[in-house]
Structures are given as structure tokens and as C-alpha cells.
Structure 1
Amino acid sequence: MRKLLLTLLVLIIVGCGVFLSLPTLIDRHMNSVAAPAPYPASAPAEQLHQTLFVADLHDDALLWQRNLLEHHDYGHSDLPRLLDGHVGLQVFSTVTKTPRGLNYESNAATTDNITLLVMAQRWPRATWNSLLERALYQGQKLQEAADGSQGRLQLIRTRSDLAAFISTWQKDPQHVAALLATEGLHPLQGKLENVDRLYDAGFRITGLTHFFDNEVGGSAHGLKKGGLTPFGHKVIARLEQKGMLIDLAHASKPLIDDVLKIAKRPLLVSHTGVAGTCPGTRNLSDAHLQAIAATGGLIGIGYWEAAVCETSTAAIVRAIRYTADTVGVEHVALGSDFNGTVHTPFDTTGLAQITEGLQGAGFSQADIALVMGGNVQRLLLASLPQ
């Protein structure tokens, strides 16, 4: 009996070790690149890239147990690699729930992959059963990283925060501004007052849906794929009142249409593809590109295959060129979806390859500066809370 108990104890210890190591194994496997760094670009592209304020609208690094302040040889980003890539501003999104069997066509909201990941990464117990607490905890992780970065990573909440950061960055670009966003509004848990909780925690960009329909409205990947719910109408009004930017990434077509009818502020799509170069469930039609641009908004072009139909810089540049030709270069931005369980051509140190690709696609230096980050800077300086 004693020998049996000892064997069971060993098996339990080994099992716990395997369980706790799974997040890193999953991270390494699912946040991959086509080729390892370094990612060389031409001398003219590198020279131009070093003058640019680069901004990316979507990164899911907060989901994983990597330390943002340390350089890693897997995944897509961390502070050292953001600095190496000459990134001036990074939007960090918070993933709180994804369905089992996740796919682009039809997902129910009844299952959740993130619970086991949260437990395996030893997040606080409050996050095990609360989507709101998961979002708030990831926001806390970003704040703690900023606090420990000796000023190199700065969390932005207001226009004045960003203006002060830009002044600092222009003197020394070895700094990164960070903005906090949600990957869907299921963390509201059906309560309007939780918009205020997110705002107070520093969230300034809010995706409405992720891979399933929620209390706000339909997902492009949900079962019903409907429009805004009555609760969703109240949420949009509260978000605009608070000065929080609305992100239509992953939204169903009826949800996009409903928001367009009532929005009074610029809308953005943080990470997407466009149907004109890559037909797909969530990729934007020309009509939606034009309607979003008409609000003064931005379309962030993603880097993964379902967004641009190839794992290549050329495919990313094609989508940028098409979008700029369709709605104007002032409405195009970068939306990598780094660390969102995607396979990309490079990690964040390879962004000069996009600069090179834009040069080859006939963009002027001024237009390249807009696409690579100037448009994001302009929108935020006009739209963040005072």
C-alpha cells in the first residue's frame, strides 16, 4: 500500500508539472514565425524605418506568462523586441474567453479554453470564474510591466499622456507607449456599470465581440451572427460617453451595420483582412471599408494567413495597398494580431520589411509614415479622453 501511495504521489507531481508547463509549450507552438530573426531589409528601408513612429493596433501578449520586460526567443513581442523593431506605440488586448474547437465559421459560447490556461498559469483565483477579473488582471500585468520598465514602457490613458510621450519619444525613441484594449465585451458580464470598471482600469479601446456571440451583439464567428442587442445599444452610448474607442474586429456584418448607424465617433478595426485581396468570414467588404473610413476611423491590416491569404510580407502590403486605394491612405494602419495564436512572417523586430514592401508598392515616404503609425497617432490624439 505504501509503495502504491508513493507511486500515485509521483504521478500526481509529474502530472502537475506537465500541466503547469503546458502554457509555455502552447505559446511556443501557436505563436510562431515563418523564419527566425534577424529580418533584414534594404538599407533605404532601414534608414526610413528608423525615422518612423510605428504603431500596432493589436497584440495579445498579456494572455501568456512571458515577462514583457524580458527578451524571449519565442512568441512575437516583448519590450526589448518592440524597441528593436522601432515600435513607438503598441495596443495590448486582453483575451478572456475562447470556445473549444475554435473556428472561423460557427462557435457557441458554452465552452471556454481560457479557464485551464488561467489555472495553469497560476493567475489569481478570482480570474478562474470571472471574465471581468481576467481582463482586469491582464490590465494589472501591463501596469506592473510599465512600473518596472524604468520609464521605457508607458501606459497611456489620455491625450495629454500621449502628447507628453511623443515629446519624450522624439528625443529618445527607446520608449514604447502602451494602450489597453479588450478582445470582446463579454467581460462586462451583462452589466453596464462594468464599462466604468474597465475605463477606471485604463482600458481605452473595446472590441465588441470575439469568436462567439455575446450580450452586446453578434460575432462573425458566432451561431446567430446578429446585430446590436438592446443592451448593446446602451453599451455603445456609454463607451462613446467615456471616450473609449470602439473596435469592430470580429464583429458580424449586422453588428457592424448597426454600430455604423449610431456611432458618433471614429470607429476602428484593430486587426483584420480585406475581402478585396483575401475573401474570408471576417474580412471587410469594400462597403464596410468605406463606411468605417467615413467615420474618420482606421483599418488595421493583420499579418496572418486568414487575414491576407499568405504568410508573407508581400500579402500584407497587398492588403495595405488595396485598402489605401479604396478608402485613402489616411485610414490604414498596422494590426498584427501578434501573440494571438497566429503564424506570421516575422516577429515585431521585422517591421522594417513592411516599410521596404511599402516602398516597393509605390507609397511615398509621407504615406509610409501614415500607415506605419502616423494615422494611429493622429486618431488617438483626437479621440482619447482629455
Structure 2
Amino acid sequence: MKLIDLHEDLAYSNQVGIDVIEGNRQSSIKMLKEFDSLIFASIFPHVDTLDERSEELTSLYGNPTRSTNFSLELFLDQVKFYYYLERKGIVKIVRNANDIEPKGVKLLLSLEGVDVLRDYSDLYLLKELHVLNLGLTWNYDNKFASSCMAKKDYGLTSEGEELVKLANKLGIIIDLAHAGKRTVLDATSISKKPVIDSHTNFTRLKQHKRNLDDEEIEAIVKTKGVMGITAIVSTLKEQTINGIVESIKYLGESFGWEYVAIGTDFLGIGETPKGFENILRVKELARAIEGHEEEVLWKNAYRVIKENLSSG
């Protein structure tokens, strides 16, 4: 079975002591070898802190969540970890459009939040490091874009607009997970390439700041992008595998099956939906969406990745 998962936190989990090579917690390289897989391997260069912002995040996600401050040092450490895995022969890092066929375990490096960038021209450095997916925000606003937690949703700044344009030119995917609504609408209007929301669900089913409303969905659809249905339990109407299926079917039946993908957020979440405890449960998910499983599990995301990376 082929699988593209648009978001897993392998490097961050390794830093906090979780075995992401041979382990059995949510996902690991060992489990991913059960598939021919391409995983968007998150780079999450943030330092946990406890403050008022962490209280907001705890209320948002329903479990204790610390706020974070970004760190260039952690960014480099996480990139180095992924290249270590490749040198050991455990994974293959995607470098261009010719590398993206799911086969063995492949990693597409993905920066979650652009806080570590000084200006948009830093994308040239990311390109050299083969960081090919760019999340504009995490849960905090930055100099480029407003987040889903914004008190004032200002969307893309002028610097953010240049960031999106340069990403298109370099063949770097724009990822709108955690973005504020104005950011979603601005980025989709500017991007000349399909965008993604790597891990999300939908406000029509569950009101949540991390979820997309119908206007945001339509904006992503107009770019021919995809949305990765996620396992974040607080974003699901029903906190089970059936809740994930419900989100998949809502997007597919209401907007088109070509826009549906999977972005589990495994290794980045503290709790999993019942019946979807780890990446191996994708096999049960495939049976539940029989007839659309290839589209959802890899074909749709493959199309978007190929169109973006072919530009660079």
C-alpha cells in the first residue's frame, strides 16, 4: 500500500526522547516500512515554555500544551537528524520531483512555522537544505503572516506576499496549517501553485480555531490543492476513527475527492482517536473509504507535490 502523510513530528519527538526509529508510539520508521510511504517530516524548532500563551493552547487542544519560542539551533539539529537517518540508510530525503514516488520510506522536509527566517530570501537557504514544504505559521503570528490564534487576523504582510511568490518560484510548497483565515485567503489568491493545509479538519463538523470553514476550503480548492485530514482529537466531531472518516467524506462529497489527503500529526499529539492509535491503522481507514483509498492516501497529495517541485 502506498501512503503519503502530510505531517509527522519525527525530529521533535526524537529530541524529547521518543524512539522514532524502532518505536511503537503512533508512528516510527519501523511502522512506516509496512507501506511504501512519503512522509512530510516536520521541523518544529521551538523551545517549550510555560506562560499565559500555554494556557490558551491548553484550552484550544484540550490537554496540557506548553507555548514555545523559536530556536535556529533546534532547526539545525532537526535537519541534521533527518540527514543522519538518510546516511544510516533508513530513509531517503526527497530532493526534487523525481524522488516523490512513494517507495520504501521517504521524507519530505517540512518547516512548521517560519519564525526562524529573517526575511523571505532565506528561502534560498531552505531550498539548498531540501526543505520543500513551508508552513507559514504555527499557533503564533509572525512577520510574514497571522495565525489561527491571531487576536487581529491581518493575513499576509508584504514580506509574506514575497515569501509565497518566491516559494512558488523555487518549488517549495505553501502549507496553511495553523494559519488565520485572512492568511489562507491571501495566500491562495497569490499562489500560482496548489497549496496544502497539511493537517486540519472542518468547522462545519466541529468548531475549532484549527479547523477550516467552507470559504477557506473553497479557496484551497481553487488552487487545486489538498487538505490533510488530521488525528487531533479536539478538532474531530467524534474522537474515533469514524470521526476521521466523517471528515474525509465531508470534504470529498461536498468539494471533490481530488482535494482529500491525510495529515495525521502523529508524534505531535498527546492523544489519538479511538481505533486510530498509530499509522498502521491506515489500513482500517482504507477499508472504510473503499473506492477512494488511493486518491486519499497518496494520489491527490502526489499530484500537488509533483506540480510544486517541478517548478524548482
Fold match, TM over 0.5?
A: yes
Alignment of 1:103 with 2:61, yes or no, is no
Within a 5 Å distance, the mapping from 1:40-59 to structure 2 comes to 52-59=1-8
Q: Is the radius of gyration larger for structure 1 or structure 2?
A: 1
Structure 2 CA distance for partners of 1:236 and 1:311, relative to 1, 3 Å: same
Structure 1, residues 178-197: CA drift from partner, whole Å, max 9, x if none?
Answer: 10001111010x32232122
- 2:113 and 2:20 mapped to 1: Cα distance? 26
Partner of 2:63: none
The answer as to whether partners of 1:155 and 1:177 remain within 8 angstroms in 2 is yes
> Which of 152, 155, 160 is matched with 2:93 structurally?
155
> Which of 278, 287, 293 is matched with 1:368 structurally?
293
Letter in 1 for 2:114: L
Alignment of 1:138 with 2:78, yes or no, is yes
Structure 1, residues 115-136: CA drift from partner, whole Å, max 9, x if none?
Answer: 7xxxxxxxxxxxxxx7333223
Structure 2 CA distance for partners of 1:287 and 1:179, relative to 1, 3 Å: same
Alignment of 1:335 with 2:271, yes or no, is no
The answer as to whether partners of 1:304 and 1:310 remain within 8 angstroms in 2 is no
Higher strand fraction (1 or 2): 2
- 1:382 deviates by 2.2
- 1:64 deviates by 2.2
Letter in 2 for 1:182: L
Structure 2 CA distance for partners of 1:322 and 1:238, relative to 1, 3 Å: same
Higher helix fraction (1 or 2): 1
The answer as to whether partners of 1:246 and 1:268 remain within 8 angstroms in 2 is yes
Structure 1 vs Structure 2: percent identity of aligned residues?
25
Within a 5 Å distance, the mapping from 1:1-386 to structure 2 comes to 52-65=1-14, 66=17, 70-73=21-24, 75-84=25-34, 86-97=35-46, 100=50, 101=54, 103-104=56-57, 131-149=71-89, 152-163=90-101, 166=102, 169=103, 175-188=104-117, 190-344=118-272, 345-359=276-290, 364=291, 367-385=292-310
- 1:278 and 1:261 mapped to 2: Cα distance? 26
- 2:223 and 2:49 mapped to 1: Cα distance? 32
Structure 2 CA distance for partners of 1:102 and 1:213, relative to 1, 3 Å: farther
Runs (5+) with no aligned partner, structure 1: 1-51, 107-111, 116-129, 170-174
Structure 1, residues 45-100: CA drift from partner, whole Å, max 9, x if none?
Answer: xxxxxxx3111000012102357663114x3211101113x251111111122664
The answer as to whether partners of 1:290 and 1:326 remain within 8 angstroms in 2 is no
The answer as to whether partners of 1:99 and 1:212 remain within 8 angstroms in 2 is no
The answer as to whether partners of 2:225 and 2:259 remain within 8 angstroms in 1 is yes
- 2:224 and 2:130 mapped to 1: Cα distance? 23
- 1:236 deviates by 1.3
Letter in 1 for 2:99: D
CA RMSD of aligned residues (A): 2.1
Letter in 2 for 1:247: D
Structure 2 CA distance for partners of 1:368 and 1:320, relative to 1, 3 Å: same
- 1:69 and 1:146 mapped to 2: Cα distance? 14
- 2:5 and 2:202 mapped to 1: Cα distance? 17
- 2:108 and 2:227 mapped to 1: Cα distance? 17
Using structure 1 for the length normalisation, give the TM-score: 0.72
Letter in 1 for 2:308: S
What is the count of residue pairs matched by the alignment?
296
- 1:218 deviates by 0.5
Runs (5+) with no aligned partner, structure 2: 61-65
The answer as to whether partners of 2:168 and 2:308 remain within 8 angstroms in 1 is no
- 1:54 and 1:206 mapped to 2: Cα distance? 20
